[in-house]
Structure 1
Amino acid sequence: MDNQPDLPLQRTPLHAAHLRAGARMVPFGGWDMPVSYSGVKAEHTAVRERAGVFDVSHMGEFRVTGPGAEAFLQYVTTNDVSRLKVGRAQYNWLPGLAGGLVDDIYVYRAGEQEYLLVVNASNIAKDLAHLQAQTGPFDVTLTDESAHWALLAVQGPQAEALLQPHADTDLGRKTKNSYFQTTLFGVPVWLARTGYTGEDGFEVFVDAAQAEAVWEHLLGLGITPAGLGARDTLRLEAGFPLYGHEFSEELHPLSSDYGWVVKDKPYLGRAYLDAAAAHKLVGLRLDKVPPREGYPVKLNGRVVGRVTSGTSSPTLGYPIAIALIDAPDANADQYEVEVRGKDHPATRVRLPFYQRAQPGTTDTALIPTNSQPKV
């Protein structure tokens, strides 16, 4: 996601707090964002073992209200918004007019005729224009509230225990994808039991003017500040796609294993999603050399795809990648990834690479290295 060179970088309400915490700042999607504080591996490990907090206030928030809100969202998304009860959230897609995705989003139902959409930071203007263009037939009001909200993601196995003494709601009764109003450290907030790391946790929607106070309270609990670097390694281990890498307006989204997001209903651009995908996103494990986005993937010396995301996994201790492979060649067990002119063996593995152990089970289970992808 390239920045526009003629425009100054935007700053979240926590920019000064990041500098005080020693963050290394980088341009990202038009924003000046922290990539790391203590180091990517340390921040990654903190989230896997205890808890970390991310500033994701660069994300966009749209309010959708009115008698036609549900019908409107049913039309512009692929998932079944009608199944959302008040106080629940749902992962969803905005399909394009001519194939691919405008964005992948989260939908939160705040009231009987009220929803909040969270969209990717680099897509805020594009998504807003796309949605506004579809409002005509519906009795609905669409409002961009991105400047009003700060968004903090508290993620990790100890997130609930650390937050509970400072919240006025029984967090243990809130299941995954819950969305509710409460206070945290005496500050009014909305909490959602959602996240992007493969761990338990809560995303905190707070008025931008009060974000710094909440952030400092979280750090005071010993929660580790974490930047974009750890956010990327965590989401990749968990097999989560990133818009602009695994999804785009040019890629058929059903190249992924996220077909469950598409329900059998009328929606914008359905004819394009009904067509078969020409590619497949698969997981790859390498032995030594970490692959990067764009590296060629080969089958018996023939290029059959490319890496969309890759890293050296801090949790698993070996390089991993998601790759977009031509559909006819997507079922092989072994590939080669070309790294700086040299081919390195890569084994197809089932996504996710890492899955948090459930209560009553043993520690993190490693996925079998030559299994078929889970569809």
Structure 2
Amino acid sequence: MSDAPELPSESEPRDDDLLAEVAATDAPEVRFSPLHDVHVAAGASFTDFAGWQMPVRYSSDLQEHHAVRQAAGLFDLSHMAEIAVVGPEAGAFLDHALAGTLSSIAIGRAKYSLLLAEAGGIVDDLVVYRLDEHDFLVVANAGNREAAFAALAQRAHGFDVTVDDESDDTALIAIQGPESAGVLDELITSDRLAPDEPLSELRYYRALQGTFDDVPVLLARTGYTGEDGFELYIDVDDAPALWQALAEAGAPRGVVPAGLASRDTLRLEAGMPLYGHELGLDTKPAQAGLGRVVDLGKDVFVGRDAVEPAEGARVLVGLALEGRRAARAEYPVLDDSGAEVGVVTSGALSPTLGHPVAMAYVDPSASAVGTTLGVDVRGTTIPATVVALPFYKRS
């Protein structure tokens, strides 16, 4: 194989054509997590998320949110997509396919990256793990599974690499919060969890392979809550036993199962973007504060020629609101004269901070920290101030 990919011929589908085809397909059948019966037994309430029936809460959103900040929460993330990229040119392929440089990360490291369309917009934001010299795991958002896999598979043309969607065979369980390491230590002490290296040596955005009850598990120190925590990848058939073990070891420490509602307020406080809200095909990375993720030092990658936003394009900011009324997605952001200068993408009454917070795209002239703005909350203008992200950072 050559070092550079072969370009598709005019008869082959272009990247954007493939994305359009994926978007036009019929909605998939309802999917259930391999832990669905466990959640039903625990009294979970469910919601549809990207075609999956997933727990939205077990008890209360607030209780689960505070548990993660103070102890730990147990999350089922089995709806996420896991895509294996394997082969002698896997690193070079990912450098071409993604906005970041993945070939240079060490074995056992993880890196946040972006999958861009040729027009420079964001197809998905991803976490990439390097498991071995020529073995990578790409984790995509559930709602973008088909689009991400289609784009990667098309971009693999000309590289000595295989791209396989392993999502249906993989479960993902996250434990997030200050007690999470202690819970895993309990399982290690009881000889149920056996990482290949000491857990104490696993730093943030790194991963270890190992076993749980003698079956393979990938243990990553990553997460989406703003807290220390771990994400564990395991075969779907072994997921219920792992969930039960984590729940039993965590119960004396105040660990509770947590649903998507608390995960959303946790990630919002941590200033983490959510695809479909802060990120999308009409968003360029620099607008979302993700310019650092894009390696413009690379000569070629998909989307490079169109990655820069237009002059005057709106940028993502944090807003702290007065009172108790939360701003929601699509609410207008106003300047002092009442003119619309932006739009809210995510908002909630922050359980940790005790006041409403929001993320919004605003005109550059209204983006400086300290700028006084307003949010139109159902006809009432609520005073808001531009603040630095994240809203919350663990001490």
Whether contact under 8 Å (1:185, 1:217) holds in the other structure is: no
Q: Which residue of 2 aligns with 1:220?
A: 248
Q: Return the match for 1:137 from 158, 162, 169.
A: 158
Q: 2:209 & 2:218 partners in 1: Cα distance?
A: 4
Deviation at 1:108, TM superposition (A): 0.3
For the 8 Å contact 2:99–2:293, the answer to whether it is kept is yes
Deviation of residue 58 (structure 1)? 0.2
* Residue aligned with 1:251, SS: coil
**Bigger shift: 263-272 or 340-349?**
263-272
Aligned-partner residue type, residue 11 of structure 1 = F
Is 1:269 aligned to 2:297, yes or no?
no
With over 3 angstroms needed to count, the CA separation of the structure-2 counterparts of 1:7 and 1:274, relative to structure 1, is closer
Confirm or deny: 8 A CA contact 1:89 1:179 kept in the other structure: yes
Question: Residues of 1 paired with 2:29 and 2:114: CA distance?
Answer: 30
Change (3 A) 1:185 1:42: farther
The one-letter amino acid paired with 1:335 is L
Q: Distance in 2 between matches of 1:6 and 1:139?
A: 33
- 1:297 paired with 2:333, answer yes
**Paired residues for 1:20-31 under 5 Å:** 20-31=41-52
Corresponding residue to 1:311 among 348, 352, 377: 348
In structure 1, the partner of 2:227 is 199
1:244 aligns with 2:276: yes
Structure 1 residues 99-132: Cα deviation after superposition (integer angstroms, max 9, x where no partner): 2111000000011101000000011111111111
Give yes or no for the alignment of 1:344 onto 2:347: no
CA contact (8 A) 2:286 2:309 kept: no
Kept in 1, the 8 Å contact 2:84–2:164? The answer is yes
1:210 matched residue in structure 2: 238
Equivalent in the alignment of 1:364 = none
Q: State the AA in 1 paired with 2:113.
A: N
Distance, in Å, in 1 between the alignment partners of 2:114 and 2:290 is 10
Q: Corresponding residue for 1:368? A: none
Deviates more, 1:270-279 or 1:233-242: 270-279
Aligned mates of 1:108, 1:71 — CA distance in 2:
15
- Aligned partner letter, 1:235: R
**Which SS does the other structure have where 2:167 is aligned?**
coil
Shift of 1:239: 0.3
1:105 to 126, 129, 135: 126
* Counterpart residue identity of residue 246, structure 1: E
2:44 paired with 1:12: no
Q: 1:279 matched to which residue of 2?
A: 314
The alpha-carbon distance between structure 1 residues 80 and 27, as it changes in their structure 2 partners (threshold 3 A), is: same
Matched with 2:292 is 260
**Superimposed CA distance per residue, residues 302-328 of structure 1 (whole angstroms, 9 cap, x where no aligned partner):** 001100000010011110000001223
Give the distance between the partners of 1:177 and 1:164, measured in 2 at CA. 19
Q: Answer whether contact 1:92 1:107 (CA < 8 A) is retained.
A: yes
SS in 2 for 1:18: helix
Q: Could you tell me how far 1:5 is from its partner in structure 2?
A: 8.5
Amino acid at match of 1:135: A
Worse-superposed segment, 203-212 or 4-13 = 4-13
Matched with 2:201 is: 173
Aligned-partner Cα distance in 2 for 1:275–1:246: 15
**Which stretch shifts more, 324-333 or 298-307?**
324-333
Q: Does 1:327 align with 2:364?
A: yes
Residues 235-254 of structure 1: per-residue CA shift (max 9 Å, x gap):
00000000110000011221
Q: SS at the partner of 2:168? A: coil
In structure 2, what residue type is equivalent to 1:307?
A: V
Q: Which residue of 1 aligns with 2:100?
A: 79
1:83 to partner: Cα distance: 2.2
In 2, distance between residues paired with 1:162 and 1:232?
23
2:65 matched to 1:44? yes
Total equivalences in the alignment? 355
Give the CA deviation at 1:64. Answer: 0.4
1:329 CA displacement: 2.7
Runs (5+) with no aligned partner, structure 2? 1-22, 189-193
Q: Is the 2:367–2:386 Cα contact (8 Å) retained in structure 1? A: no
What amino acid is the match of 1:284?
L
Provide Cα deviations, 1:225-282, integer angstroms capped at 9, x if missing partner. Answer: 0000000000000000001100000112211222211112121111111344611100
Partner SS, residue 163 of structure 1:
helix
In percent, how many aligned pairs have the same letter? 46
Distance 1:252 1:258 in 2: 9
Shift in Å, 1:8: 3.2
When the two structures are superposed, what TM-score results if normalisation uses the length of structure 2? Answer: 0.87
- Check whether the contact 2:119–2:307 (CA below 8 A) recurs between aligned residues: no
SS in 2 for 1:75: helix
Structure 1 residue 186 displacement after superposition = 5.0
Q: CA RMSD in A?
A: 1.5
Aligned counterparts of 1:268 and 1:214: Cα–Cα separation in 2: 39
> Deviations for 1:27-67, whole angstroms, at most 9, x for unmatched residues?
11111010000111100101000111100000000000111
Most deviating of 183-192 and 235-244: 183-192
| Contact 1:312/1:320 (8 A) holds in 2 | yes
1:120-150 per-residue CA deviation (whole Å, 9 max, x = no partner) reads 0011111111111111121110001001100
| Structure 1 runs not aligned, ≥5 long | 358-375
Alpha-carbon separation, structure 2, partners of 1:44 and 1:316: 12
Counterparts of 1:83 and 1:190 in 2: how far apart (Å)?
21
